[in-house]
Structure 1
């Protein structure tokens, strides 16, 4: 890979974009905007979902995405999506974005995740070494209708509840818990000062307190054990698990197709030395997108080795690399992940990103929505081995990262977890959108909650039909799927 020298690599913004004029309305004016939006888009209107007669073929949308992905990894993506309707949903962000485009919207725009399903929330370390709970995937982030994030999150709980075998009543309670908490938190943020909204965050200790009244003693102990495990997931743990010594040098282990070292992709005599030199150049160029103090920290590490690594369900097939660097000695590792950033699935429906570099789009959105972001979060544009120009964002591979075990959740635990996710999404939206207008639109009744619960149930039915379409496409030979490892 070689870094491309152009001004948008570091500045990132499209040259034609004019400075945004900000209107400072009074709180009363913002409340009036929210109430007026109810007349145009009643809250109950969000509850409907019907498949349009001209709805795109969901399998065709997946095939379209596959054209820009690593060909040998695409069957692995389909294999992972075939595990269940829930895993299918995790990989179907484009399908749902297409479905959400014609649905009712209030007209208020926030920075949205674009893929806010329940497995894209989790814990990680803040720069101050506190364990936080937040959204942790921003590949699709873009300014857009806040309702789309709420609907994708709510539907994910309905679908996960079906996967767990919960009753229809329990599933509805879970979804309504999520949306009611979102609504309540937006109301709180609407009354808060701007800086208080910006500083708001959920520390894991507080999260455990929230869960305490909803879980058994055994479940609480398991949650605490998972938190303790998350604190061990760092560069040192990855170093121990993912590397070994070869001829006196540390190298990333080979575990194809999930992990493939650079030398297996670029054999000796095929320009491997040039590739290694280019990777060092990539790191030097990427450091310019970091804060000045973090540039100094990164400079104290030396590049050692690289491998391609397969990532989560929705991103399988996009190019992702793990880069091993060493600091003061051979026991001072830093693992970075460089993940390809393609066009957001939302862009064809809400307009192009203001950033020419999709890596910067992801980083800007993540910094705007997260309470705290990785100290090594940055971006770069490079030429791939095939000569194609691609955008990437970089961050630490692991930094106290952990996620909820959805496969073992009881209905009560999932309901409590749904509340936490709803609260987290509300905080993320409040940082960029008109929280007062949105709170006014939502109101204090449960009208919106009930509507979203209706939508989630109807859309879960649609998701099951789409899942069966994928199953049929694989059975017919239209698509090839592999289970992987």
Structure 2
């Protein structure tokens, strides 16, 4: 077997799969499952960390961001990745580094189109992506499953009985991935048809999934044009105003959009770059989305082709990871974050089974950005609309998919060795951590709610 070589800047691995598995078993002897299940509060000041992140965002959008985060403990959790990452850095960890999503909560999975126009299910947010201990992603997913279930008024007893099954889904997926050879692990089966076959969904869950598929198939650039645009006084097509979420602005990006668009095109495949040469920029609007990213600089670009058809691209500010941003006392500059767009794009290409062909990046004068197609056969799951059986199916599918993403890293053989074959103890200990950390989230959320009552943002 040809050894895999992987350099993170901190460790270098040049081992066979069998040797990597042995290294994973040895890591388990250094940091046990019981230790992974522990959580010790770090004493950090959540308000200070969140304030530092807010300093990177657009001031006029902060009130709505605060309102969105205040909707529930789960919404707050979604918007404060910096807190959990800082806390995890102070807890025992496996020492096994891999490419991680960094924000693998249950709301950051969804459906999208492959370049071949197949509908896929995968992770879909990589703003916090980087190289970290692999279990950080799994722990964040578990806590999010717990909080989302509580937000849906599921009894704690049911959640407590179910949570180890989510860990087991991840563990079994890792095991299955290493029944494949290296090349087949590179081509994971994330298309929806195979997910349906593998999951053996009940009738209600299958019906839910088919409804999502039907909605996703209707999402394309022309549908976006119909929903988001109108005609200006001269009869030209332009984005519809919906301030403060969607509004035309005069800033560095909109002023230099042609130059930035040209720089972005140079990061694409030659065939995609050539395709975009047939389009011209028709309109640009600032369009804020999400919870955690609401308030960052996000834009939509309306492109019109030589045949009159349209393409809508989303441009998102590529901020440093939340943990890094929450610890900075100085203004973020292009010099500081010039590779952040590339970090996000590269991580997405590594972790997703297939990625958007329009995925690219560029550096502005003071900030960096990444670009992707907007709403192209994309569909997310409204967790509040799921019954308990559907929710459990969805959570297990997310865990299974996360393991497939982690299996793309050469160190994943160590994960396989670490979790082992008899995983009940592992499953239960990771679930224990989720309950302990959920208490920390509730404490932070209550402080946030108390604080924002007297705050202006």
Q: TM > 0.5 between the two?
A: yes
Q: Is the Cα contact below 8 Å between 1:230 and 1:401 reproduced in 2?
A: yes
Question: Cα deviations across residues 207-249 of structure 1 (Å, max 9, x unaligned)?
Answer: 3334553x4x344323211210011111111000001112121
- Alpha-carbon distance change, 278 to 452 in structure 1, aligned in 2, over 3 angstroms: same
Q: How does 1:223-302 map to 2 (within 5 A)?
A: 223-246=209-232, 247-262=234-249, 265=250, 278-302=256-280
CA distance in 1: counterparts of 2:411 and 2:382, whole angstroms: 33
Residue 304 (structure 1) aligns with: 282
Of residues 89, 93, 101, the one that matches 1:101 is: 89
CA distance in 2: counterparts of 1:137 and 1:428, whole angstroms: 13
Q: How does 1:282-431 map to 2 (within 5 A)?
A: 282-330=260-308, 332-347=309-324, 356-383=338-365, 389-431=366-408
Aligned residues, how many?
Answer: 442
RMSD of aligned alpha carbons: 2.3
Question: Cα deviations across residues 97-147 of structure 1 (Å, max 9, x unaligned)?
Answer: 111111111111111011000000000000000000000000010111101
Consecutive unaligned residues in structure 2, runs of 5 or more: 1-6, 328-334
CA distance in 2: counterparts of 1:349 and 1:122, whole angstroms: 27
CA distance in 2: counterparts of 1:123 and 1:275, whole angstroms: 29
Consecutive unaligned residues in structure 1, runs of 5 or more: 1-16, 267-273, 384-388
Q: Is the Cα contact below 8 Å between 2:319 and 2:337 reproduced in 1?
A: no
Q: How does 1:105-254 map to 2 (within 5 A)?
A: 105-213=93-201, 215=202, 217-246=203-232, 247-254=234-241
- Alpha-carbon distance change, 349 to 312 in structure 1, aligned in 2, over 3 angstroms: closer
Give the superposition deviation at 1:206. 2.4
Residue 68 (structure 1) aligns with: 56
Give the superposition deviation at 1:195. 0.4
Q: Is the Cα contact below 8 Å between 1:355 and 1:361 reproduced in 2?
A: no
Q: How does 1:83-94 map to 2 (within 5 A)?
A: 83-94=71-82
CA distance in 1: counterparts of 2:82 and 2:134, whole angstroms: 17
Q: Is the Cα contact below 8 Å between 1:174 and 1:418 reproduced in 2?
A: no
Residue 452 (structure 1) aligns with: 430
Q: Is the Cα contact below 8 Å between 1:173 and 1:415 reproduced in 2?
A: no
TM-score w.r.t. length of structure 2: 0.92
Q: Is the Cα contact below 8 Å between 1:124 and 1:402 reproduced in 2?
A: yes
Q: Secondary structure at the match of 2:266?
A: helix
Residue 4 (structure 2) aligns with: none
CA distance in 2: counterparts of 1:366 and 1:59, whole angstroms: 30
CA distance in 1: counterparts of 2:430 and 2:133, whole angstroms: 15
Q: Secondary structure at the match of 2:303?
A: strand
CA distance in 1: counterparts of 2:336 and 2:112, whole angstroms: 28
CA distance in 2: counterparts of 1:222 and 1:114, whole angstroms: 28
Q: How does 1:36-51 map to 2 (within 5 A)?
A: 36-51=26-41
CA distance in 2: counterparts of 1:175 and 1:82, whole angstroms: 25
TM-score w.r.t. length of structure 1: 0.87
Q: Is the Cα contact below 8 Å between 1:98 and 1:349 reproduced in 2?
A: no
